[in-house]
Amino acid sequence: MGKVYVRVDDRLIHGQTIVAWCPTLGIEEIIAIDDVSAQNPMLKSILTMGVPKNYKTNIVTTAEANELLKQSSDKNRLVIVKFPEKLAEIAENIKNCEQLILGNIAKRDDTIHKVSGATGIFYLSDSDVKILDDLANTGIDIVFHQLPNATKVTWKAFKETI
């Protein structure tokens, strides 16, 4: 049975995903969840352009992702969403993930929390915090982690700063 890792990164698939995260986690399949990109052939092409053929790559809607995630797989999977709000829509199908890794999350109108002590851009809204807190309370290991060799901040450590 393959492992599932979940990453929140508003860039979805990019160079760090392919050269750092996928090899470190032993990823064989990428599932990028974004309803807009999944329905736009040009965006799908751009997102998959730099992905080597040895990674099965899916750019899918939330509904398609939930169907994919319900299927067992012997491949290690990396599920990527842009923002924490999408996690609430796939929560049932990621409850057994190995780790939920928070990557770059750009500042938005409703974001008021900036993660300190970590490199990168990590902004969260109160709604994001609630979603992540709810997931953490189910036992999911959540960390802020820009790159595999960079400083890691645990969800618990972040919560103590707000």
Question: What pTM value is reported for the model?
Answer: 0.94
CB atoms within 10 A of CB 115: 19
Express each pLDDT in 69-122 by its tens digit: 999 999 999 999 999 999 999 999 999 999 999 998 888 999 988 876 555 678
What ranges do the domains of the chain cover? 4-159
- Overall average pLDDT of the 36-55 stretch: 96
pLDDT of residue 117: 55
Confidence of residue 2 (pLDDT cuts 50, 70, 90): very high
How do the residues of the chain divide into helix, strand and coil, expressed in percent and rounded to 5? 35, 25, 40
The overall average pLDDT reported for the chain is: 93
pLDDT band at 59 (very low <50, low <70, confident <90, very high): very high
pLDDT (average), residues 65-70: 97
What CATH architecture is 4-159?
Answer: 3-Layer(aba) Sandwich (3.40)
Answer yes or no: are the C-beta atoms of 34 and 81 closer than 8 Å.
yes
pLDDT at 136: 97
pLDDT in tens, 6-31: 999 999 999 999 999 999 999 999 99
What is the C-alpha separation between 26 and 78, in angstroms, rounded? 9
* C-beta of residue 153 within 8 angstroms of C-beta of residue 115: yes
